[in-house]
Structure 1
Amino acid sequence: MTTFVDRVELHVAAGNGGHGCASVHREKFKPLGGPDGGNGGDGGSVVLTVDAQVTTLLEYHHSPKRKATNGKPGAGGNRTGALGQDLVLFVPDGTVVLDREGNVLADLVGHGTSFVAAQGGRGGLGNAALSSARRKAPGFALLGEPGDARDIVMELKSVADVALVGYPSAGKSSLISVLSAAKPKIADYPFTTLIPNLGVVTAGDTVYTIADVPGLIPGASQGRGLGLEFLRHVERCSVLVHVLDCATLEPGRDPLTDLETIEAELSEYGGLDDRPRLVALNKIDVPDGQDIADLTRASLEERGYRVFEVSAASRKGLRELNFALAQIVGEARAAKPLEESTRIVLRPTAVDDEGFTIIEEDGVFRIRGVKPERWVRQTDFSNDEAVGYLADRLARLGVEDKLWKVGAHEGDTVVIGSDENSVVFDWEPTMAAGAEMLGRRGEDHRMETQRPAVDRRREKQKGRDAAEAEYLAFEALSSGRQASIEGDDEDS
C-alpha cells in the first residue's frame, strides 16, 4: 500500500461569486422606496499552506479534485450574500507548485507559507450599489464572477542540508539511523528504501537535517530504478555525501566505479555541480572492507574528495564525518544572503495604457483586457438595461472610439475575451446611444406604472391643502368683520 507520494496532479476550483439582487423597497405608503438589492458574496479561494506536520502528498493522490464553496446571492433589504469559505490545503515543507506546462508558480518553503492556487470569484453588485444621481432606480444587478479553475502539479523536494547518495544497499539507511533518531527500514537486499528518509543531526552547536535518498543505479536520470522519482530531493541540499560500499560482492563493482556511475547520473540530472562532495567509505568493519578502503582512499583524495572511513555497525569514523558535515552546512548557511523583510512592490500603470487591446484577426476584432472581460462576465444579457449599462461602460473606457480608429465598420464581428471564454457581438456603432433609447436608462420600468397614481395622490393633497387655506382665510375675514360691527355699536 502506498504511504508516500511526492508528486501529484491536482485540479483546484475556486468558488463562484454570488449574483447581485435587483429589488425595489416595498412598504405601505412608500411605493417608491427605491432600490434595495444587496451584493452577492465573494466565492472562496483555494489556498496551499505549508504545515510542518505534513510530510507527504498522499492525501491529494487519493482525492485529486478540490473545490471551494460558492458565495451566496444578495437579497432585498440591502442584505449581502454570505462569503464562500476558503479551502486551505496543507502541504509539506518544500512543495513546488507548477502548471501543466511545467512553469513554476510557487516554491513553498517555511512553515505557514501560503499560495493562492485558485482565486474565488467576486460577488456581483446589487441594484442598490449601482444606483446614482443619473441612475436612481436600476432594474438590474451584476452577476457574480466565476472562480478560477486550473490544473496544477505539486512536487515535493525535501528540505535537507545533507543528502546521502549511493547504490542500493550501500548502507545509507544504516548511517542515517545512527547519526539521527530516524528509524528507516534496513535489510540486506536492494531497494529496501522506497521513500526519502529525513533525520535531524546535532554536532556541537550546529543542528542540521540529513536525507537518505533511495538507491541510484545506472540510467536513473532516464527513469531506471527509483532514482528519477527521488533525485529531486537532493536539489535543496547544501552538501552531498557519496556512501560507497566497501564490502559489495557484486561482480564489476568497486567504490571507484560506483562513484563514477553516481556522479554521471547526478551530472545527467543537472543542477548539482556546485554542491560540495564528501565520500564515506562504509562497511569497513566487515572482512576485506578495511583493505578495500585503504586501496581506494588515495585515488579518491587525488580527485579532490575528502574521504572518511566509517562503519554504521561499530560507529567508527562517524564523529569525524558528523562534524565535517556540520562545518560545511554552517559555511553554506553563512554564505546565504540574509532574508529581506517583506516589501510591497508598486507598479504604476503606464501613462499610455488604455486598459484594453484590440487586435484584428481575419476581419474579427478581438478585445482583450481585464476590465472588458470582467464586465462581460458580470452582465445579464437577458436584461436590456444591463446590456445598456455594459455598453456605457465600454464607451467610457474608449472601446468604441478605438474600434473606429482600427477600421471597424457597422456589422463587423467583435469578440471580447479569449477563445475559451468569449462573447461575440455584431458591432453597432450606436449601441451606447441605443441604451439611452430604453428611456431613462437604469431606472426600473415597473416604477413607471406607479407614477400616475402617485401624481393623483399628490394632486388630491394639493387640492385639500388649497381648500383648507381658503377656509382659514374666510374664517379670518369673517372674524375681522364681526369685530368691526361690534365696535361701531359701542361708539354709537
Structure 2
Amino acid sequence: MSRFVDRVVLHATAGAGGNGCASVHREKFKPLGGPDGGNGGRGGSVVLVVDPGVHTLLDYHHRPRAVAKSGTQGQGAFKQGANAPDLELRVPDGTVVLDRRGEVVADLVGPGTRYVAAEGGRGGLGNAALASAARKAPGFALLGEPGDEVELTLELRSLADVGLVGFPSAGKSSLVAAMSAARPKIADYPFTTLVPQLGVVSAGDDTFTVADVPGLIPGAAEGRGLGLEFLRHIERCSVLVHVVDCATFETERDPVSDIEALEAELAHYAEALGTSALGERIDQRPRLVALNKVDVPDAADLVDIVRDEIAERFGWPVFAISTASRAGLRELGFAMAERVAAARAARPEAEPSRIVLRPRAVDDSGFTIGADPQIEGGFVVRGERPERWIRQTSFDNDEAVGYLADRLARLGVEEALAKAGALPGCPVTIGDVTFDWEPSTPAGIAALLTGRGTDVRLENHERVGAAERKRARGARREHLSDAELAAGARYSSDHEIEE
C-alpha cells in the first residue's frame, strides 16, 4: 500500500531556449546569398495538471526535482530549432501551490486545471531575423533565454462537502465506513487514522462526500500532534460535524468540554487562516453534533443528559447515533445533505476564465535606474526588457555588444543615466553584467558599415581585424626580394598540398 503524502517541496526548472544561428548563405553563382540563420527553439515549461486518478503527492516526495528539456539551436538555411515539449506533472484535485514566502499562488481545483509553475525560456533570434536596412548581414545571433527556476510547496487539501472532527477514537472512521463504501482502518486505540479518508454518501437524491479527518487534540492549531497537518484538510469542507465519544473512559472529559476544546482550536486556526475560498471562516460554517456510541447503556444515559444542554448552548442540531447498530445514521445523513445543498446553492457559480489584458502605462519606460549599493558611484538598471537583452547577448561578439548598445539607447537607458548623474566610465550594472558606461549617439550609429562580428565603438577589443592582418602581411613582404617571395609562395602551396 502506497503512503499518503499531502505536502512536498518541488524544485522546478524549465528548459532554456535554443541559441539563434549566425549563418550566411553560400552557394555557387550566388555571391550575395544573405543571412540565413534560423531562430532557436523554445524551452519546455513545467506545468502542474490536475488528474482525478492521482490521490497523493508521493511521487514528488521521492523525486522532488523536475527539469524540462531545452529547445534546440537554430541552423543555417533558415532552419528553426525545435521547441521542447512541456513537462506535465500530475497532481491531485485540491492541490494548493505556495511560493517560498508561503503565499498561495495557485489553487488547483477541477480536473484538467493547469498551472505553469516554471516558464520555459524563449529561443534566440537568428541573424536572418536580425537583418535590417542598416545591418544587412549581421555577424551575430541572440542567445536563448534560460528557463525559470522556482521552489514551490505543494499542499493537498481534501475536497469534501462534510468534515468529521473529533478527538481520537471518537468513531469518525466507523461513521464513514457505516455511511459509505469507504473502508478506513478501524481499531481500538487512538490515532488509528493518520491520513484523511473520503467516502461518498447518498441521502435520498443527494450525494455528497464526507472526509474523516484524523483526530484532533488541544493545541492542534499550534502544531501539537500533527494538528496543522490535519486541520488543513477541513478548509474546503462546507459543513462540519462534531463526532463526540459518549462512552469514553476518561473521567475528566465530557461531550460539552470536548466540543468547546475543538471549537477553540478551530477558532485559533481560523484566525491565522482568515477567509477561505468558500467565502467564510472555518469557525463560521454550519455545524452538526453527532453523539456517538449510544449502543452502550452508559453512553445512552449521558446523551439524554447533555442533548438539551448542547442544543441550547451552541444552537446546533444534535443527533444520537451508533455506528455499531446504525441507529440515527439515516437522520444524520439527511441533515448533512440539507446543509450541503444550502451551501452549494449559496456558493457563486464558477465563471469561465477570462483573458486579462494589462497594457503598460503611457509614462512607463519599462526600467528604473538607481544607485548601486555595492559599488560607489555606480548605477543599477532594473527592468524586464534590459535584463532580458543582457541574457540574450553574447559578449564574445563585438557586433552583438554594439547591437545591445543600440537597443538600450533606443529604449532611453542612456538618456536616463545621463539625467541620473552618470559620468562616462562609471560602472553600470544590468542583470548579472557590470560594465563601464560610455555614452554614444542614440540612433543611427548602427548604420556604420564594419566587418562582420565587429563594431567601431568597441575600440578596446582583442580580436585582430582583416584590415590589420592585411597591413601586417604587407609590411612583412616589403623587405623580401622577388626570389624570396617566389620561394615563399612555393612553400605555401606545397604546405597546403601536404595538409
Q: TM-score range by the shorter chain?
A: 0.7 to 0.9
- Compared CA separation, residues 185 and 427, structure 1 to 2 (3 A): same
Q: Which residue of 2 aligns with 1:377?
A: 391
The reply to whether residue 34 of structure 1 matches residue 34 of structure 2 is yes
Deviations 1:298-321 (A, max 9, x none): 110111121000111111111111
- For 1:385, give the aligned amino acid: E
Q: SS at 2:225's partner residue? A: coil
- For 1:355, give the aligned amino acid: G
CA distance in 2, matches of 1:436, 1:52: 56
* Contact kept in structure 1, 2:403 and 2:446, CA below 8 Å: no
State how 1:136-151 maps to structure 2 within 5 Å.
136-151=136-151
CA distance in 2, matches of 1:291, 1:220: 30
User: Of 329, 340, 343, which aligns to 1:332?
Assistant: 343
The reply to whether residue 426 of structure 1 matches residue 436 of structure 2 is yes
In the superposition, the TM-score normalised over structure 2's length comes to 0.86
Q: SS at 2:218's partner residue? A: coil
CA distance in 1, matches of 2:386, 2:363: 17
Q: Which residue of 1 aligns with 2:65?
A: 65
Shift of the alpha carbon at 1:364?
2.0
Q: Which residue of 2 aligns with 1:313?
A: 324
Q: Which residue of 2 aligns with 1:262?
A: 262
The reply to whether residue 291 of structure 1 matches residue 301 of structure 2 is yes
In the superposition, the TM-score normalised over structure 1's length comes to 0.87
Comparing 431-440 with 143-152, greater Cα deviation is found at 431-440
Deviations 1:94-149 (A, max 9, x none): 11101111011101111111100000000000111111222110100000000000
CA distance in 2, matches of 1:91, 1:401: 49
- For 1:285, give the aligned amino acid: D
The reply to whether residue 274 of structure 1 matches residue 288 of structure 2 is no
State how 1:144-223 maps to structure 2 within 5 Å.
144-223=144-223
CA distance in 2, matches of 1:239, 1:442: 72
Q: Which residue of 1 aligns with 2:88?
A: 88
CA distance in 1, matches of 2:12, 2:96: 16
* Contact kept in structure 2, 1:391 and 1:431, CA below 8 Å: no
The percent identity for this pair of structures is: 66
Q: SS at 1:387's partner residue? A: helix
- For 2:123, give the aligned amino acid: G
Comparing 137-146 with 333-342, greater Cα deviation is found at 333-342
CA distance in 1, matches of 2:144, 2:451: 22
Shift of the alpha carbon at 1:241?
0.2
Comparing 267-276 with 151-160, greater Cα deviation is found at 267-276
Q: SS at 1:225's partner residue? A: helix
Deviations 1:388-411 (A, max 9, x none): 000000001111111111111111
Q: Which residue of 1 aligns with 2:119?
A: 119
- For 1:402, give the aligned amino acid: A
* Contact kept in structure 2, 1:42 and 1:70, CA below 8 Å: yes
Q: Which residue of 2 aligns with 1:467?
A: none
* Contact kept in structure 2, 1:215 and 1:226, CA below 8 Å: no
* Contact kept in structure 1, 2:14 and 2:45, CA below 8 Å: yes
> Who wins on radius of gyration, i.e. which is larger?
1
Q: Which residue of 2 aligns with 1:406?
A: 420
- For 1:96, give the aligned amino acid: V
CA distance in 2, matches of 1:444, 1:351: 36
Shift of the alpha carbon at 1:437?
9.4
Comparing 433-442 with 161-170, greater Cα deviation is found at 433-442
CA distance in 2, matches of 1:311, 1:423: 72
- For 1:305, give the aligned amino acid: W
5+ long unaligned stretches in structure 1: 450-492
Q: Which residue of 2 aligns with 1:363?
A: 377
Q: CA RMSD in A?
A: 2.0
Shift of the alpha carbon at 1:344?
2.1
Shift of the alpha carbon at 1:436?
4.8
CA distance in 2, matches of 1:148, 1:300: 55
Q: Which residue of 2 aligns with 1:479?
A: none
CA distance in 1, matches of 2:204, 2:454: 78
Deviations 1:409-440 (A, max 9, x none): 111111112xxxx2111110128689659734
Shift of the alpha carbon at 1:200?
1.0
Q: SS at 2:137's partner residue? A: coil
- Moved segments of 4+, more than 3 Å: 431-449
CA distance in 2, matches of 1:383, 1:437: 17
- For 1:334, give the aligned amino acid: A
State how 1:434-449 maps to structure 2 within 5 Å.
436=446, 439-440=449-450
- For 2:368, give the aligned amino acid: T
* Contact kept in structure 1, 2:295 and 2:324, CA below 8 Å: yes
CA distance in 2, matches of 1:435, 1:385: 12
Q: SS at 1:259's partner residue? A: helix
Q: SS at 1:218's partner residue? A: coil
Shift of the alpha carbon at 1:197?
0.3
Q: SS at 1:293's partner residue? A: helix
